[in-house]
Every structure is written in structure tokens, then in C-alpha cells.
Amino acid sequence: MNWAIGCVGSRQQTARLFDTGPVLPEGEFESFGQNVSPQSLYLAQLEERLGPSALKNIGYSSNRKDLLEDKALAKLPRLDYYEDSELGRDVAMFRPVDANNVRDPAMQYGAEKALDGNPDTYWAVGDSVSRATFEVDMEGPLEVGAAEICEAAGFEGRVLEYKIEGQIDSDWKLLSRGSTIGKRKVDRFPKETVWKVRLTILKLTKFPAISKFSLYSN
């Protein structure tokens, strides 16, 4: 049983993992839209079991929200997402990503380089690779209807054939297929709700270098 107590935000029912159905029940909500006390159930149980001194022994003077916020930790800087004037926001940007191969050194040519918004960085594979796969985790069901792919400057024309698939209802469905990519290629396809999106480079001349892989819902 899933419980949400004192949560603030929007409630949205979703389907079973990787599927569009069946839609799962929400679970149990209590005090939705209004925070509750105590702030920490763990600290409340500790204090009840061992007394207020137990909180002080681990660095807490009480179990209040303002005292639990660690003000010594600086907030992470805001991520700037790419917004295309026609296609909208790039929903693949900064998502978790995995690839079947990465050229050495991996830190320089990792798959995440195709999602970082920097045209000077790119994902590349080794010289011996004849088929390269790049898989983006959408971190939940997300609607997509277009993809943008760019080969890095100086590496254009190395991709000769590719396909893009989406994970839908626990299976992979072809979204688009093409030949060359070059400086920039935009593929539009019927909108689908996907959990993951996979780019497979089927034919190539030399090792491919992908500087951008973007997905859009528009």
C-alpha cells in the first residue's frame, strides 16, 4: 500500500511501469495539499523512545521543519533547457542515458554528451563498432512526436542508416527510420507515450559522433 501524507502538488494516476494500461490506483492520501507535523516520523519515534536528549545527540534541537533544513547546502544551479521556436522544449535534455559502446576516454565521449546542449561535445563509439545503440530513459511516461539528431561538426555524413524506437506497452515500436543525418535532421512521427527512446545507428562509414539527440512533444 502506498501512502502520501501531507504532500503538496498535483495528483496524477499512471499506468503499470512501461505500459499505457491498466491505470493503477493512487494509493492512500491524507492531508493532501497541507503539510503535517511532525516533520520527521523517524525523529518523532526516536524522541518517544529515548527522549529529547536523543535528538540532541544526533544534532537536532527539535523536530521542526525550519530546523531540519540544511542551510549549509547550496542549491544546485538551475538547468537551462533548450527551447526550439517551432518544436518546443527538448524533453530529452539531461535525461539518464545509456549506450552499447563509448569511445575512450569515456568521460570525454560519453552518451550524456549528446543531451547536454553543448554543440562542442558529442557521443562517439570505437572504431570497430558496426552498430551503435543509444537509449534515453524518459523517467516516466512522456508524449513525444518529433526527434532531432545532429552529427558533430567535422563528422557529418558518417551515419548512413538509423532508426528511432520508443518503448510502449513493454515493447519497442518503430517511431522513425532514415538514412543520412548530417548537420541536422528532424524526424516527425505520430505522437506516442513512451518510457524510453532508442536510437540505433544501423549503417556507418567511420565511427559516428552525435552532438545532439533531442525529443519534442509538439
Q: Cell triple for residue 55?
A: 535528538
The CATH T-level fold of domain 83-216 is Jelly Rolls (2.60.120)
Give the integer Cα–Cα distance in Å for 116 and 104. 19
Residue ranges of the domains in the chain?
3-68, 83-216
Cβ contact 188:146 at 8 Å: yes
Residue 155, pLDDT score: 97
Give the integer Cα–Cα distance in Å for 71 and 67. 9
Cβ contact 81:75 at 8 Å: no
CA distances from 142 to 15, 114, 147, 151, 173 (A): 12, 19, 13, 25, 15
Give the integer Cα–Cα distance in Å for 91 and 214. 7
Q: Cell triple for residue 113?
A: 554528451
What pTM, to 2 d.p., does this model score?
0.76
**42 phi, psi to nearest 5 deg:** -60, -45
- For cell 492531508, the residue is 31
User: Any idea what DSSP says for residue 33?
Assistant: T
Residue 64, pLDDT score: 75
| 175: enclosing H helix or E strand | strand 171-178
Residue 149, pLDDT score: 98
Q: Tens-of-pLDDT digits for all 218 residues of the chain?
A: 788 888 888 888 888 888 888 888 888 999 999 988 888 889 999 999 999 899 999 988 888 766 666 666 677 788 889 999 999 999 999 999 999 999 999 999 999 999 999 999 999 999 999 999 999 999 989 999 999 999 999 999 999 999 999 999 889 999 999 999 999 999 999 999 999 999 999 999 999 999 999 999 98
**For residue 77, cis peptide bond before it (omega within 30 degrees of 0):** no
Residue 19, pLDDT score: 86
Residue 71, pLDDT score: 61
| 160: enclosing H helix or E strand | strand 159-168
